[in-house]
A and B are shown apart, each in its own frame.
Chain A
Amino acid sequence: GENVEQHPSTLSVQEGDSAVIKCTYSDSASNYFPWYKQELGKGPQLIIDIRSNVGEKKDQRIAVTLNKTAKHFSLHITETQPEDSAVYFCAASGNTPLVFGKGTRLSVIA
């Protein structure tokens, strides 16, 4: 089955700096790679996703890149703000239930 590794587990950045979270996956059949943000006391919420036929996708301050050959994908947050502080999860799926990485706790220091 699919296995998703996520790094780092914790990340602290100064407000205004960029944050990068990296994930690798094992199943070459996976073709959908979402990123979720989970705030305290809430369920995870989708912030951006990418499919295997696309190498990069951007939505305002958030971007995701995918390298299918190397089986890794990354989340980039630019101009970080205190409200970006949360736990972020990557996931992978090939028409099966999502398999999640272990999460990254991002702290943005004002």
Chain B
Amino acid sequence: EADIYQTPRYLVIGTGKKITLECSQTMGHDKMYWYQQDPGMELHLIHYSYGVNSTEKGDLSSESTVSRIRTEHFPLTLESARPSHTSQYLCASSELGAGVTEAFFGQGTRLTVV
């Protein structure tokens, strides 16, 4: 069982609201990621971090921002939510070591903007 937690699991908010999706892991992983999953299932990388104070944008352009002040915490913020932000957001983490290692995923946050 992966020790990576996302809150909230479900969120319905109005257009223009500021929201923060929380992601925490207790595995001591240096690498953390945010993926957006569209209704057609596809996973798109929107942000990633390889350690504290390190963040990078992913392949999919996103209006969200992230921060990495603590190793275990990688929150994602939308300053002004729009209906086009409606999606499933998945957080993941993996070890920083030689080569690529398994990525562990949280349960996801399903966001609906009305």
A contact set with B: CB distance below 8 Å: 1, 31-32, 34, 36, 38, 41-46, 49, 51, 87, 89, 93-100, 102-103, 105
Which 4 residue pairs of A and B lie closest in terms of their CB atoms, listed nearest first? Answer: A43-B105, A32-B100, A103-B41, A100-B43
CB distance from A50 to the nearest CB of B (A): 12
Instruction: Check B99–A31 contact: CB distance below 8 A.
Output: yes
Looking at the complex, which one of B41, B43, B105 makes contact with A105 (CB distance below 8 Å)? B41
CB contacts (< 8 Å) of A43 on chain B: these are 2, 90, 92, 105-108
Given the complex of chains A and B, what is the CA–CA distance between A105 and B103 in angstroms? Answer: 21
Instruction: Check B41–A97 contact: CB distance below 8 A.
Output: no
Write the B77-94 contact mask toward A (1 if CB under 8 angstroms, else 0).
Answer: 000000000000010100
**How many residue pairs between the two chains, A and B, have CB atoms under 8 Å in the bound complex?**
56
Instruction: Check B45–A97 contact: CB distance below 8 A.
Output: yes
Instruction: Check A44–B90 contact: CB distance below 8 A.
Output: yes
B74 close to chain A: CB less than 8 A: no
Instruction: Check B102–A46 contact: CB distance below 8 A.
Output: yes
| CB within 8 Å for A49 and B33 given contacts A44-B90, A87-B41 | no
CB distance from B24 to the nearest CB of A (A): 14
B contact set with A: CB distance below 8 Å: 2, 33, 35, 40-43, 45, 48, 58-59, 90, 92, 99-100, 102-108
CB contacts (< 8 Å) of B59 on chain A: these are 1, 99
Question: Nearest chain-B residue to A87 (Cβ)?
Answer: B41
CB contacts (< 8 Å) of A93 on chain B: these are 100
